[in-house]
Structure 1
Amino acid sequence: MALTDEAIDKIKAMIVAGELAPGSRLPKEEILAGQLGLSRNSLREAVRALTAMRILITRQGDGTYVSSLEPHLLLESLSFAADVSQGQTALQLLQVRRLLEPQATGMAAALLQPEDIRELRDILDRCRSATTVDEFVAHDIAFHLRIVETIGNPVLSMLLRVLSTRTQRVRIVRGSRTRRALDNAHQDHEEILSALQARDAHLAVSAATVHIAAVEQWLAASLNDGPLPAIDG
């Protein structure tokens, strides 16, 4: 095991054991290195890596602290994996999304208030008038995220963000190469909203499932046609 990996594992072990609680400050570098039997260089590399993972946070001029360790915070570091996902990996992420998001949409049917429905209606109106793929995707993300946020579970919200990031969605939509795909997406959104307005959880689950399955089909068809386009093209 590399020295940096060993240092990471040792700091994680201290956190798991409760020796370093969420929000607590790490001992001074020389003290912690001595406690763990590490060189200061190895410790610094481990701290950098754990900071990137959002396990530790560094406060300029104040030291390094254990983060809140809330799951939704730690999941943020996984977004890059979705951003760069290609081919079968991207399909697998969408399959997991299809398992989770429809159920979340069904749960939201009983929780959405009239003002929430109005906000969703406004998002869909902006989505339909979008003139670029980037605009469409921004409103698409806002629509689905607004529904899930109604449940009040930040772990679920972040997990669904990770499973389908903006970068991934832009790549899929551009790869669909067809206006019909966007028209179908708009219709799917309308059916989801109608189910939510009716507070019909079963219908909301079905509409969301159909929508996400269609996105999977776009991606599968795009892969058959060749590599998906870059997002900055």
Structure 2
Amino acid sequence: MAVTDEAIEKIKELIVSGALRPGDRLPRESELAAGLGLSRNSLREAVRALSLIRVLDVRQGDGTYVTSLAPQLLLEALGFVVDLHRDDTVLEFLAVRRILEPAATATAAGRIEQAQLDALTARLDALGPDPSVEELVACDLEFHRTIVRSAGNSVLCSLLDGLSGPATRARVWRGLARQDAVARTLREHRAILAALRDRDAEAARSWATVHIAGVERWLREAP
């Protein structure tokens, strides 16, 4: 194991064991390095790496702290990785969405508030018949994010946010726009909303599956 990897593992062990908790300040560098049996250089590299993935927060002139370790914070790096994916792997990310998002949509059927449903309906109404790609991306993000957040599972919400952020959705929507699939997609959004209004979890699950599977099919058949 590389020295820096070993240092990362030792800091992780402190957090997992509860010796360091969210919000705690790390001991001084010299003290921590000695306690973990590490060189100060390898400790610095480990701290730098863990700060990049939002496990640690380095505050200039104050010290280094364990972050809140909230899922949305720790999974931010996933969105960065997804945005860098190649076009030939977009279908794989959509396949993962097709597994996770219908379950979240079904759960949301019993939780989403009427005001949220009304707001999403108004957003679709305001979009019009010929929106730009940018407008579609913004609306699509708001639509799916609102529903998934209503499911009440922060880990699931963060995973789905990371799997299909603005950059990925822009790629998908450009493909859909070229195939004149916008109207059908928006109709499916309305069908999902109707199922949620009826508090019909299985209908919501089915329409979410149809919706994402349709996007996969369009992209697979695209020239």
CA distance in 1, matches of 2:2, 2:113: 53
Conservation of the 8 A alpha-carbon contact between 1:105 and 1:147 = yes
Alignment of 1:10-29 (within 5 A): 10-29=10-29
Segments of 5+ residues of structure 1 without an aligned counterpart are: 226-233
CA distance in 2, matches of 1:52, 1:23: 17
Identity %, equivalent residues: 52
- The alignment status of 1:208 with 2:204, answered yes or no, reads no
Report Cα offsets for 1:122-143 as digits up to 9, x if no partner.
2212344663212111110101
1:71 alignment counterpart: 71
Shift of 1:160: 0.9
Give the letter aligned to residue 191 of structure 1.
A
CA distance in 1, matches of 2:129, 2:66: 45
1:36 alignment counterpart: 36
CA distance in 2, matches of 1:130, 1:139: 13
SS at structure 1 position matched to 2:64: strand
CA distance in 2, matches of 1:138, 1:74: 24
CA distance in 1, matches of 2:4, 2:149: 38
TM-score normalised by L of structure 2: 0.92
- The alignment status of 1:92 with 2:92, answered yes or no, reads yes
Conservation of the 8 A alpha-carbon contact between 1:133 and 1:174 = yes
Report Cα offsets for 1:63-88 as digits up to 9, x if no partner.
10111222332111111121112245
1:229 alignment counterpart: none
Report Cα offsets for 1:191-211 as digits up to 9, x if no partner.
111111222222111111111
1:160 alignment counterpart: 160
Please report the RMSD computed on the Cα atoms of aligned residues, expressed in angstroms. Answer: 1.8
Moved more, 166-175 or 118-127: 118-127
Alignment of 1:74-223 (within 5 A): 74-128=74-128, 131-176=131-176, 178-222=178-222
What is the count of residue pairs matched by the alignment? 223
CA distance in 2, matches of 1:19, 1:202: 44
Moved more, 157-166 or 87-96: 87-96
Moved more, 60-69 or 121-130: 121-130
1:51 alignment counterpart: 51
Shift of 1:89: 3.2
Report Cα offsets for 1:171-207 as digits up to 9, x if no partner.
1221345252111111111111111122222211111
Give the letter aligned to residue 95 of structure 2.
Q
Give the letter aligned to residue 104 of structure 1.
A
TM-score normalised by L of structure 1: 0.88
Segments of 5+ residues of structure 2 without an aligned counterpart are: none
